[in-house]
């Protein structure tokens, strides 16, 4: 049993559960899920701009499963290098790519092969493939050079990381001096019981 979390958690099982859940989302977004997803959720509950969302491929926004709107936190300047940790089907990644434009770069990092493949396809459809790049990886080992990134964004992903302090160390490693983090995620205001913390199925949910 791999142990990369603060407590005795079966992280291999957790990583498999996460991949199974998000493979199901990318293959069948019309299915039943324990979390909200899709464009109406993004616009009505999270405040995304409907015109912007409708300008993206509908198959991309159908697979959106974030928890907030990281791009609402601050600007993306033209020419910046942006990394989206857990880019999923690419909705935030494509929005960031449009903002950084042809002089910039938007790198999506995701462990789920189906998500990376579809995000790359949606980038091509949106005319952004020169700006967007998909890389296999996870928050605890970003496939990104030291001090090479202006902005890290992430939406609903760090809560899935087995080692959150490592994820933040990785973010600090890849950011240039003065770089920014726009993070949308879950915050708990009380400690979970050890039993809950050890429950990989609950964690993956
Ligand atoms: C909740 S979805 C969010 C996707 C995207 N950010 C969005 O807003 O639609 C979670 C995504 O994060 C990926 N993921 C899960 N664990 C991860 C980790 N430890 N590091 C990076 N990505 C991860 C999954 O493969 C999935 O595509």
140 within 8 A of 163, measured Cβ to Cβ: yes
What does the pLDDT average to over 97-108? 98
User: Ligand 1 atom closest to Cα of 35?
Assistant: 1
pLDDT of the residue at 5: 57
CB count in 10 Å sphere of residue 131: 23
Question: Which of 47, 53, 110 gets mutated to test ligand 1 (max ligand atoms within 8 A of its CB)?
Answer: 110
* Ligand 1 binding residues, C-beta < 6 A: 18, 22, 64-66, 85-88, 91-92, 109-112, 115, 138-139, 155-157, 160-161
What's the confidence (pLDDT) of residue 192? 81
pLDDT over threshold 50, residue 3: no
pLDDT band of 1, cuts 50, 70, 90: very low
Is the CA virtual torsion 53, 184, 161, 31 positive or negative?
Answer: negative
| Global confidence as pTM | 0.94
Residue 40 to residue 11: CA distance in whole angstroms: 33
């Amino acid at each position: 049993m791999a142990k990369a979390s603060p407590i005795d958690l079966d992280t291999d099982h957790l990583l498999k559960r996460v991949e199974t859940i998000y493979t199901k989302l990318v293959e069948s977004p019309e299915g039943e899920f324990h979390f909200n997803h899709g464009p109406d959720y993004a616009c009505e509950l999270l405040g995304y701009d409907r015109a912007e969302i409708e300008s993206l491929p509908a198959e991309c926004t159908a697979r959106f499963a974030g928890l907030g709107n990281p791009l609402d936190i601050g600007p993306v300047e033209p020419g910046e290098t942006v990394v989206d940790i857990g880019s999923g089907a690419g909705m935030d990644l494509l929005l960031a790519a449009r903002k950084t434009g042809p002089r910039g770069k938007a790198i999506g990092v995701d462990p789920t092969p189906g998500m990376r493949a579809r995000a790359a396809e949606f980038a091509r459809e949106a005319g952004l493939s020169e700006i967007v790049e998909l890389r296999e990886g996870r928050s605890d080992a970003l496939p990104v050079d030291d001090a090479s990134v202006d902005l890290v964004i992430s939406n609903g992903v760090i809560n899935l990381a087995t080692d959150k302090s490592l994820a933040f160390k990785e973010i600090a490693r890849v950011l240039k001096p003065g770089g920014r983090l726009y993070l949308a995620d879950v915050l708990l205001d009380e400690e979970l019981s050890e039993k809950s913390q050890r429950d990989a199925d609950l964690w993956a949910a």
